[in-house]
Amino acid sequence: MATTNPEPARRGADDPDRRLRVVVLHGPNLNLLGQREPGIYGAETLDQINQRITALGRQLDPPVTVHTFQSNHEGEIVDAIQQFGGASDGIIINPAAFTHYSIAVRDALAAVAKPTVEVHLSNVHAREEFRHVSVTASVVTGQVVGLGSVGYELALRFLAGHLTPRDDA
Ligand code: DQA
């Protein structure tokens, strides 16, 4: 089942502070963080990670409104890239297993063409060979790999420093 936080993804043109908007998308099985192979993925839950990056967004200059979304379903990730990604200034995505084979996720990222950081908690290059391939890598701005949940924070700090708010929202 898809989960989403209540932070609005859209910013109206009348919004006086013209905050940046970043959507953070988490792919399959990341809802199990905290209990799922903690030796690889860490002890933190997805909720804890989402809360931390949402709070970080508020502290950044310019402030960033962070919208988070997780789904185990490929089509829902594609929809979220189109809908939330399209309405955001930038995207942070951990496509999880979809990284390694989902042309649909890759094509959605290419279609919305937003500055995008791909995050992996684990060092995928030090793991099974099938994890060495990322079909999304060629359509994102860059990757943060193997630094645990800090990777999301680094991605958000990068985007905050490189984005300008859209005028047409
Ligand atoms: C992952 C790595 C993927 O290979 C794996 O399928 C995941 C998580 C990571 O964050 O390290 O589910 O994206």
Q: What is the CATH number of the domain that holds 79?
A: 3.40.50.9100
Length of the chain: 169
Closest CA to 153 of 80, 49, 63: 49
Long-range CB contacts for residues 147-155, cutoff 8 Å, separation at least 24: 147/121, 148/42, 148/121, 149/42, 149/44, 149/49, 149/52, 149/121, 151/119, 151/120, 151/121, 152/24, 152/49, 152/52, 152/53, 152/92, 152/94, 152/119, 153/52, 153/53, 153/56, 155/92, 155/117, 155/119
Q: Is residue 48 part of a domain?
A: yes
Gap between the Cα atoms of 72 and 74, Å rounded = 7
* Structural domain includes residue 46: yes
Residue 56 lies in a domain: yes
Residue 51 is assigned to a structural domain of this protein: yes
In a domain, 149, yes or no: yes
Q: How many domains does the chain have?
A: 1
Query: Over 80: is that where the pLDDT of 10 sits?
Result: no
Per-residue pLDDT of 93-114, as tens digits, reads: 999 999 999 999 999 999 999 9
- 28 domain-assigned: yes
| 92 CB burial (10 A radius; 0-12, 13-18, 19+) | buried
> Does the Cβ of 73 fall within 6 Å of ligand 1?
no
Residue 3 is predicted with a pLDDT of 56
* Host domain of residue 143: 19-118+134-162
**Residues 26, 41, 67, 152: which is the catalytic one?**
41
Among this protein's residues, is 41 annotated catalytic? yes
pLDDT of 139 reads 98
Look up residue 99 and give its DSSP letter.
G
pTM as predicted: 0.89
Position 8 in a domain: no
Q: Is residue 14 part of a domain?
A: no
Tell me how far the alpha carbon of residue 68 lies from the centroid of ligand 1, in angstroms. Answer: 17
pLDDT digits (tens, 9 = 90+) for 57-79: 999 999 999 999 999 999 999 99
User: Ligand 1 center to residue 44 CA distance, Å?
Assistant: 15
User: Residue 144: CB within 6 Å of ligand 1?
Assistant: no
Q: Assess whether pLDDT exceeds 70 at residue 156.
A: yes
